[in-house]
Structure 1
Amino acid sequence: MTKVLLTGGAGFIGSHTCLALLEEGLSVGVLDDFSNGSPEALRRVAELAGLGALRQESPGRWSTGDSGPADLTLLRGDVRCPGDLDRAFADGIGAVLHFAGLKAVGESVAQPLRYWDVNVTGSLRLLEAMGRHGCRTLVFSSSATLYGSTDRVPIPETAPLQPINPYGYTKAAVERMLADVAASSPGWRIARLRYFNPVGAHPSGRLGEDPSGSPNNLFPYLCQVAAGRRPRLDVFGGDWPTPDGTGVRDYLHVMDLAEGHRRALAVLEAEPPQLLTLNLGSGSGHSVLDLVRAFETTNGLAVPFSVVGRRPGDSAVSIADPQEAERRMGWRTRRSLADICRDGWAWQSANPGGFGEGESSLDG
């Protein structure tokens, strides 16, 4: 197939998926403004995929050049900017994996307009650009946050959508937009992947989650506490209606998630045009304290924590029913909670400063 564009491909999930696609021999372009991603992540992706070095071709553009069946191009740009999108599509894009967006629940409560602008306006501009360039295949990075507080556990795709925070509202709005676009004219191939809690890192220790500033998500914060970068882990709420009082989530390894995106793209390419909606999760729930104990046991480390008040926008339990993903794509998680904890710590311990120390390795 022709080149695949990853918006937000320098971020946590995007970079791991980029590697999975390159290892399949695909040609990949990345559009990212580096607001919560690093060009160094893509340099390492190219290295792990056995490609040539990423070299600067022009201001804001890097490429591995003609390095074989697979190649990688990186473009600095904003998904809300039509000009940046047109530059990305000039490479002959046949499909898009849309990761670009903001993703922190608590931050969305404090900055709702920013979330609506980046997540919804960015998706609108992307769809307009796809229309201009005749590209009609899209895999969208959606979220289990859409389900909000629900009594149905595990949660199937048919569960009502009832988001309880601005982040979830923006994901619901984009999903509605995609449904409307798919119904507006024939030929659209769209997958909406609702994934639960991506964690872990690439087992090499070369690629992982490196959030800008203070982490908004549990696992990178836990890793930074274990590394001594932060004094303790704040556990938000010890009075949830769960066995130990802490929130229960469905944690899935980021490499399982990356493989899910690869499978979804393959299904869209092989089958007639459709709107496909799938949960990506393990189907198993673990509390925050379960995760802390598993991390301590797997890595032989102590993680100090304090239970504090609930965080606005959170829910008690969120566990996927992933049966439809297995039926439609043959996909299921293959990695355990211990694998998550081991690989996440391998990344953190090998990269105490995240990607920052390698920023200068990209030419220019």
Structure 2
Amino acid sequence: MKQDIRKLSAVQLKDWFTANGEQGFRAKQVHEWLWKKSAQSFDQMTNLSKTTREKLDSHFDIRPLTVATQQRSADGTVKSSFRLYDGNLVEGVLIPALRADDTDRMTACVSSQVGCSLTCKFCATGYMDRKRNLEASEIYDQVVAIDRQANEFYQAPLTNIVYMGMGEPLLNYKNVMESVDRITSPDGLGMSPKRITVSTAGIAKMIKQLGDDQVKFNLALSLHAANDQKRDQIMPINESNSLKNLAEALNYFYRKTGTRVTFEYIVFYNFNDTLQDARELWEFTKKVPAKVNIIEYNPIAEASFKNTDPQTLDKFAGFLEQKGVTVNVRRSRGKDIDAACGQLAGKS
């Protein structure tokens, strides 16, 4: 099998060119085609000679992902099933602006793994096996594909990226970090890291690593319960990453980066939606500089959870706001095509 050229660094690419009788500056041209112009074949690299392109093609693959299926929701959300070079499927979502005063926002929700190993009880991906991590290039390709959709459907480019699709990003740390670098680098897509949010179910060790690496992007924690007993029930990862350990790791991250964390909190009917639950969440926000996104639950066939009723949700959010917590209530998008939060399952 030919080597995936996008696994080579710029230095390794230059070394290959010089070792194969080519001028070293060709490496920079190829690197630009791969990461700035998002070329999917060597034939697209028109400033290289045909001989050079054929030599590249004989040694390397590019392995772009392809759109297997595409669905458009009544609310404008677009869900894509992406086929990878080995036949596996992942899903990504384009979420256009919902509010009239926010017409420029175009958000890509991308996946980081094929499946997931964390078995969160409310998430469709959690009922899948984790088959493998995505390569940095495969995450990058999702962004490129969703950006094309934004321009096709809305004549506007992507403005934001959230790593909230299939998989746990911090369990694919190296490739996620490399993908962010490709997306934000002037030699890549040139997006601002402040427009990127990486969401984690809570891997304390890797949250600290983000702090040590002094990342510039935003971090979100899928919290969903602010006491260990309830969180253990719905998120088994909490058994080895308790709220105490997470609070310590998140504070370490904040001290290193100066970036306030976002807590994501799905309000489940008759499980974590009482004022006592809201009080526990408020107490947790006092331990970590954070804002709260309250998210509507999106039912899945594998679980019996239900979204709380609007009145209870309003009381929950109102309690937090009275305590001075910054709260945003996120309405679900793309429910009718199983594109909403927690519904991605890599279906063809």
TM-score, normalising length: structure 2 = 0.37
Larger RCO, structures 1/2 (Cα 8 Å, 6+ apart): 1
Quick check: which has more Rg, 1 or 2? 2
Structure 1 length normalisation: TM-score? Answer: 0.36
